[in-house]
């Protein structure tokens, strides 16, 4: 049976119970937060990818994995065992040696992210060489341009006139950025 069509009755939970919260794969009924006087019960689904849903005749384990459901939605709250893989190379999470990066469709393993970053870096360096820009192309610009690969960098945390150190997000070159603020002030009477 496909996980997506799974519907497994949960005999432990009376159908009258309505308050169910989730924490990862754990489903909890009557969390103390709800103060409804009913006993708190926590259950793990019989397999990863299922969560508890209330139907007219009681509670059932049903599929919550967006990929199994094929609903095209990002940021699946839970993922089944089979879909717990790198979005790029398909390596299973249990086979990873390093913590992966989050991704709208799950996660990407560190080697894949590093490969992609290396490709972007090489492309940017090749483009910079081709364009043959000089220092005037990153002088008093309205954005931060890396002096080596000419990629645009973010100006997070640069909120005043000062000199800042930055490492290019594309080619990793460390460079200095001089920020000049040129504020304009408009005054008006309060309404």
Residues near Zn ion (CB under 5 A) are 65, 67-68, 80, 83, 86, 88-89, 109, 112, 146, 148-149, 151, 168, 170-171, 173
User: Shortest gap between Cβ of 32 and Zn ion (angstroms)?
Assistant: 32
User: Shortest gap between Cβ of 58 and Zn ion (angstroms)?
Assistant: 24
CB of 21 or CB of 153, closer to Zn ion: 153
User: Shortest gap between Cβ of 133 and Zn ion (angstroms)?
Assistant: 12
CB of 18 or CB of 131, closer to Zn ion: 131
CA 47-52-54 angle, 5° bins:
150
User: Shortest gap between Cβ of 15 and Zn ion (angstroms)?
Assistant: 27
Q: Which two tokens stand for residue 100?
A: 């992966």
CA distance 149 to 143: 14
Q: Indicate the helix (H) or strand (E) that contains 110.
A: helix 110-131
Please state, in angstroms and as integers, the Cα–Cα distance from residue 179 to each residue in 144, 153, 176, following that order: 9, 13, 10
User: Shortest gap between Cβ of 188 and Zn ion (angstroms)?
Assistant: 43
Question: What does the DSSP assignment read for 16-76?
Answer: T---EEEETTEEEES-GGG--SSPPEEE--SSTTEEEEEETTEEEEEE-BHHHHT---SS-
CB of 37 or CB of 72, closer to Zn ion: 72
CB of 13 or CB of 166, closer to Zn ion: 166
CB of 62 or CB of 68, closer to Zn ion: 68
CA distance 5 to 54: 15
């Amino acid at each position: 049976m496909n996980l997506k069509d799974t519907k497994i009755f949960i005999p432990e939970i009376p159908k009258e119970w309505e308050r169910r919260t989730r924490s990862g794969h754990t489903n909890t009924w009557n969390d103390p937060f709800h103060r409804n006087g009913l006993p708190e019960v926590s259950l793990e689904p019989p397999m990863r990818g299922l969560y508890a849903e209330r139907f007219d005749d009681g509670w059932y384990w049903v599929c919550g994995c967006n990929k199994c459901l094929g609903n095209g939605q990002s940021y699946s709250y839970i993922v089944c065992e089979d879909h717990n893989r790198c979005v790029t190379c398909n390596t299973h999470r249990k086979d990873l040696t390093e913590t992966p990066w989050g991704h709208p469709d799950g996660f990407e393993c560190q080697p894949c992210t590093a490969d992609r970053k290396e490709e972007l870096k090489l492309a940017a360096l090749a483009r910079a060489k081709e364009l043959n820009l000089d220092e005037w192309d990153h002088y008093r610009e309205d954005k931060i341009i890396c002096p080596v690969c000419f990629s645009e960098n973010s100006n997070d945390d640069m909120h005043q006139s000062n000199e800042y150190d930055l490492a290019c997000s594309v080619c990793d070159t460390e460079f200095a950025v001089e920020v000049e603020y040129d504020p304009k002030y408009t005054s008006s009477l309060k309404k």
